[in-house]
């Protein structure tokens, strides 16, 4: 399965790719291989990639399906509690609803 990205990120526009690679390089996550147009992950880049993969697999994926009935009752209850606290905070802060 091919990952889906926002359209401007996969269009191959040189400016977008150049900007993204530059930001990753400046943050020490990738390094350019000399005399080529390729990049390699640094040790920090590998750690960040593994961390975000674990966050996605262990936290985000279960939360995204947590409101559906197959989810454990404890998870659905915890999500309801979080939702109530967020709504209470928004009401207390008097933030306007998004259009």
Structure confidence by residue, pLDDT tens digits, 34-84: 999 899 999 999 999 999 888 888 777 777 776 666 777 787 788 888 888
Phi, psi of 31 (to 5 degrees): -140, 145
CA distances to 39, 77, 90 from 22, in Å: 11, 43, 37
For the segment 87-98, what is each residue's pLDDT rounded down to a tens digit?
A: 888 787 775 665
Q: Which residue has the higher pLDDT, 11 or 22?
A: 22
Q: How confident is the model at residue 72, as a pLDDT? A: 76
pTM of the model: 0.51
């Amino acid at each position: 399965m091919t990952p889906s990205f926002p359209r401007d990120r996969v269009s191959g526009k040189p400016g977008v790719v150049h900007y993204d690679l530059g930001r990753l390089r400046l943050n020490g996550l990738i390094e350019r291989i000399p005399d080529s147009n390729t990049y390699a992950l640094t040790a920090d880049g590998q750690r960040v990639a593994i961390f975000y993969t674990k966050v996605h697999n262990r936290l985000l994926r279960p939360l995204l399906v947590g409101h559906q009935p197959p989810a454990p009752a404890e998870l659905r209850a915890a999500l309801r509690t979080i939702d109530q606290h967020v709504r209470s905070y928004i009401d207390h802060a008097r933030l306007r609803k998004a259009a």
